[in-house]
Amino acid sequence: MPKIETQTATTDPHQATKTAILVIGGAEDKVHGKEILKTFFDRSGGLDAKIGIIPSASREPAIIGERYYQIFEDMGAKEIQVLDVRDRDRGNDSRYLKFVEECTGIFMTGGDQLRLCGLLAETPLMNRIIERVKKKEIVLAGTSAGAAVMGHQMISGGSSGECPNRTLVDMAMGFGIIPEVLVDQHFYNRNRLARLLSAISAHPNLLGVGIDEDTCAMFESDGTIKVLGCGTVTIVDASQVSYNNREQVQGHEPVGMHNIRLHLLNYGDRYDLQEKQPI
């Protein structure tokens, strides 16, 4: 897994912040210290930030878009626009595309990750956002559903409260922004460890990343993850699994895997994606 080169965004001469991808477990603090949202704001350029908000995962995009608009306006962002895509045609809106060329940060809200992908996957708007993120020109954040879409493989639904099995998790295609990871959110709050393990049993080449509420796994441009917020980030590494019976079991029969590595990271902890080790 190659390291991401450290680079400072250069699209805006006033922007001196290092780019990152903030993957947020949902229910982030929007009232008190707002640490995670403030970190996104600062990384996007602070008072020079030009922030685009994508509320398309929500069934009430106007309400959720306005809520985040007010938060970033109160922080002092230079310019904010809600990219309110409610049908795929809007993914080619010239005004939105122009703003994406000028923005320094994009924030994807929560809701339904299948809805978000259905509206935006492979549209000119999302293709350009992803291109700019991968070139490390802008900061990207996604919370809840906006976090789930980060990988190439995406957890689209499922259950909790059971042992890992083939039927426990539903999978779909995500945006592939961080293709080597498989993200689950609201993690311990909704008892989703078995769900993530079920998904990883089908994709042991991917790194499982389970993120609690009001917690952020910040993928830095130096190839590390840094943890922010009040909960934990659970890392599931199946790269050295010696036994996996997924192909031999059916339905609700338990999945068995041997030699899984699991890490619990909390505030300030870092994880090296290249070495697959906490720092």
Query: How many other CB atoms are there within 10 angstroms of residue 123's CB atom?
Result: 19
Residues 116-131 pLDDT 10s: 999 999 999 999 999 9
Q: What's residue 62's pLDDT? A: 98
Q: What's residue 275's pLDDT? A: 97
Q: Measuring CA to CA, which residue among 275, 277, 267 is closest to residue 214? A: 267
Residues of the chain with pLDDT under 50: 1-17
Q: Model pTM?
A: 0.93
> What are the chain's domains?
20-265 (3.40.50.880)
Find all residues with CB under 8 Å of 67, minimum gap 6, and list them: 30
Q: What's residue 16's pLDDT? A: 41
Q: What's residue 161's pLDDT? A: 86
Tokens, residue 61: 């995009």
Q: Which residues are catalytic?
A: 144, 186, 213
Q: How far apart are the first and last CA of the chain?
A: 17
Q: What's residue 5's pLDDT? A: 39
The residue to which tokens 């130096």 are assigned: 222
Residues 130-174 pLDDT 10s: 999 999 999 999 999 999 999 999 999 999 989 999 999 999 999
Q: Measuring CA to CA, which residue among 212, 141, 143, 209 is closest to residue 179? A: 209
